[in-house]
Amino acid sequence: MNPPNRVVVGEPPLARPTPVTADSSESFALRHRHRTWVAHQKLVAASFVGDLAVVLLSLMVAYVIRFETGFRELGVIDPLIEVRSYFGHVGLGCCFMMFLLTNARLHDPRNYLAIRKTLLTIVKSCAFWGVGFLGAALVLKINPPISRIYCAIGAITTMVGMMFWRWVLYCILRRPPFANALRQKVVFIGWNDECERVVRRFSDGRSHQLSVSGIIAPTRGEAFTPPSDVPVLGSYEGLRSILRSTGADIVMAVDGSLERHEMLELVETCGKEFIDFKLVPSCFQILVSTLRLESLHGMPVLGIGRMPLHHAFNNAAKRLVDILGSIFGMIVFAPVMAIFALLVYLESPGKVLYRQRRIGLNGRPFHILKIRSMKPDSEASGRVGWTVENDPRRLRVGALMRAWNIDELPQFWNVLKGDMSLVGPRPERPEFIEDFKESIPHYNVRHNIKPGVTGWAQVNGCRGDTDLGERVKFDLDYIENWNFLLDFQIMFMTFYHRKGAC
């Protein structure tokens, strides 16, 4: 028998279990994060090479279309131009396009699953490339002179090629093994209704970018009841070990759930663990995207800044689009309005246009115009009511008009007058607003901009007898994130998003 603690030559020593310590847990977390980082870098490199190949091929296809097809007959072309003379243009244009795409953070791993954002970035970058590359070529007087038609064709071919390639890449990455690696793991400290609403929104579908690991119970604040599918990981005292065991990428702390010194400690811990720190505000439950950090005599203050449509240029540009769009709409849809006005009159003689008092910008009342879809005495009792499905007051032709929004077409005149915009929150009647502003939080914020003929809520299915609270959330989202492309997107979506549930 061998004495204790003696190692016999030729026999391996007994393996002893390694205790799990904070250091070993930290090493594991760091190794995991490093492997994730390496995988992301490989994906970024692969997607960058793919983007470069697609852009280069698209610009070469644009050359063939411009100079080797019937487009050659358009404009004035130097007969000596050949493909070798355009190598410089193609190379320079390719570099410029890749710069724009990279500058727009198209290669950020957090954006690979956001297909809508990706496609919108491609459209914006290609549109800017078409104008910017032509302008730079003309200013620098590159020889041979660049063709304007080539720039336009190049922007289109690159847009189509990039959108197709990125859609294929998205279809690959949305599969569970890849998507799970790309999603950022979120740990909440504390919980409130806003957290639940956001979690439901970014967890919808297979392509969501975040996954919730769980909740850490705070040391203070009101008791909360988390959803059944979101686990409680433990208490704040075990914060560091929980963050390491879950491999969290983001910590979201609810404002007011921790003491001040605990919040400072949390921020410092996140920095040491290479974890992003976010604060979920408890007092700013709305217009969070417009919060701005400012300095007031050296004191940092957080407040709601100016929204996009508070800027004079944006307002003037939107008004110009409204004027041109309303004139175009009245001309194009005049025959449609005339036909349905006649059908209304034949079914129910009387006035075919219906004027109704609504509330517009800054609470100012105005009269909206509609083709009458109800019987003339639908509100003879003086009682104001909602329109419901299969409303007995509705005309037979009124059902068709309301399904296709034809009764709203006369509102182009309201847009031209300046009472409304083509796109914005739908205006409500003053009788309803008195109740809505008391029962629905932040309802009157909708009146900071002009009401619209169509809106973000309507194209997302919130029209007619639907949840008004959800409709308001869409309206506020539009107000916060307004831009020209969003307006045109909503106008386009209006033609095929006629019904739905919000």
CATH of 183-283, one of 3.10.20.30, 1.20.1250.20, 3.40.50.1980, 3.40.50.300: 3.40.50.1980
Average pLDDT of 31-50?
Answer: 76
pLDDT bin (cut points 50, 70, 90) of residue 134 is: confident
Burial readout 32-68 (b: 16 or more C-beta within 10 A, e: otherwise):
eeeebeeebeebeeebeeebeebbbebbbbbbebbbe
Distance (Å, rounded) from C-alpha 482 to C-alpha 230? 33
Query: Token digits for 219?
Result: 């040391």
Task: Using DSSP, state whether 308 is helix, strand or coil.
Answer: helix
Distance (Å, rounded) from C-alpha 365 to C-alpha 451? 11
Average the pLDDT over each of 172-176, 199-203, 330-334, 399-403 and give the range with the smallest value. 199-203
Q: pLDDT value at position 19?
A: 43
Distance (Å, rounded) from C-alpha 334 to C-alpha 139? 46
Q: Which of 63, 87, 89 is nearest to 150 (CA)?
A: 63
Average pLDDT of 53-70?
Answer: 88
Cα dihedral sign, 239-240-244-245: negative
Average pLDDT of 168-180?
Answer: 83
Distance (Å, rounded) from C-alpha 24 to C-alpha 138? 61
Over 60: is that where the pLDDT of 25 sits?
no
Query: Token digits for 209?
Result: 């970018």
Q: pLDDT value at position 339?
A: 95
DSSP letters for 6-35: -PPTTSPPPP-PPP--HHHHHHHHHHHHHH
Q: How many residues in the chain?
A: 502
% of residues, the chain, pLDDT over 70: 75
Over 80: is that where the pLDDT of 6 sits?
no
* DSSP β-ladder status, 299-304 and 291-296: antiparallel
% of residues, the chain, pLDDT over 90: 22
More confident residue, 44 or 442: 44
Q: How far is CA 218 from CA 100, 183, 296, in A?
A: 43, 25, 32
More confident residue, 476 or 412: 412
DSSP letters for 211-253: EEEEEEEPSSS------TTS-EEEEGGGHHHHHHHHT-SEEEE
Given a contact cutoff of 8 angstroms between Cβ atoms, the answer to whether 454 and 487 are in contact is: no
Over 60: is that where the pLDDT of 443 sits?
yes
Q: pLDDT value at position 21?
A: 45
Domain boundaries, the chain: 22-176, 183-283, 310-376+390-494
Q: What is the pLDDT of residues 70-91, one digit of tens each?
A: 776 776 555 555 556 677 778 8
Hey, which of 69-73, 165-169, 270-274, 282-286 has the most confident mean pLDDT? 165-169
Q: pLDDT value at position 54?
A: 95
Average the pLDDT over each of 35-49, 316-330, 440-454 and give the range with the smallest value. 35-49
Task: Using DSSP, state whether 161 is helix, strand or coil.
Answer: helix
Q: What is the pLDDT of residues 377-407, one digit of tens each?
A: 666 555 555 555 566 677 888 888 887 888 8
pLDDT bin (cut points 50, 70, 90) of residue 263 is: confident
pLDDT bin (cut points 50, 70, 90) of residue 158 is: very high
The CA R_g of the chain, rounded to the nearest whole Å, is 30
Q: pLDDT value at position 17?
A: 37
Q: pLDDT value at position 287?
A: 53
Average the pLDDT over each of 16-20, 84-88, 418-422, 462-466 and give the range with the smallest value. 16-20
- 3-state per-residue secondary structure call for 255-296: CCCCCHHHHHHHHHHHHHCCCEEEEECCCCCCCHHHEEEEEE
Distance (Å, rounded) from C-alpha 500 to C-alpha 109? 33
Average pLDDT of 172-194?
Answer: 80
Average pLDDT of 354-374?
Answer: 90
Q: pLDDT value at position 76?
A: 55
Over 90: is that where the pLDDT of 18 sits?
no
Q: What is the mean pLDDT of the chain?
A: 78
Query: Token digits for 63?
Result: 């050359």
Q: pLDDT value at position 466?
A: 66
Helix axes 312-347, 484-494, angle to 10 degrees: 10
Task: Using DSSP, state whether 372 is helix, strand or coil.
Answer: coil
Predicted model pTM: 0.54
Over 90: is that where the pLDDT of 326 sits?
yes
Over 50: is that where the pLDDT of 426 sits?
yes
pLDDT bin (cut points 50, 70, 90) of residue 290 is: low
Q: pLDDT value at position 67?
A: 80
Which residues is 359 bridged to in the sheet?
365
Q: pLDDT value at position 327?
A: 95
The region, left, alpha or beta by phi > 0 then psi within -120 to 50, assigned to residue 62 is alpha
Task: Using DSSP, state whether 367 is helix, strand or coil.
Answer: strand
Distance (Å, rounded) from C-alpha 223 to C-alpha 201? 23
Task: Using DSSP, state whether 369 is helix, strand or coil.
Answer: strand
Q: What's 170's DSSP letter?
A: H
Average the pLDDT over each of 37-41, 362-366, 404-408 and give the range with the smallest value. 37-41
pLDDT bin (cut points 50, 70, 90) of residue 338 is: very high
Hey, which of 61-70, 257-266, 415-424 has the most confident mean pLDDT? 415-424
More confident residue, 163 or 247: 163
pLDDT bin (cut points 50, 70, 90) of residue 310 is: confident
Given a contact cutoff of 8 angstroms between Cβ atoms, the answer to whether 124 and 104 are in contact is: yes
Q: What is the pLDDT of residues 466-482, one digit of tens each?
A: 677 788 888 888 988 88
Enumerate residues 6+ apart whose C-beta is below 8 A from 211: 180, 183, 184, 185, 186, 203
Given a contact cutoff of 8 angstroms between Cβ atoms, the answer to whether 407 and 376 are in contact is: no
More confident residue, 359 or 291: 359
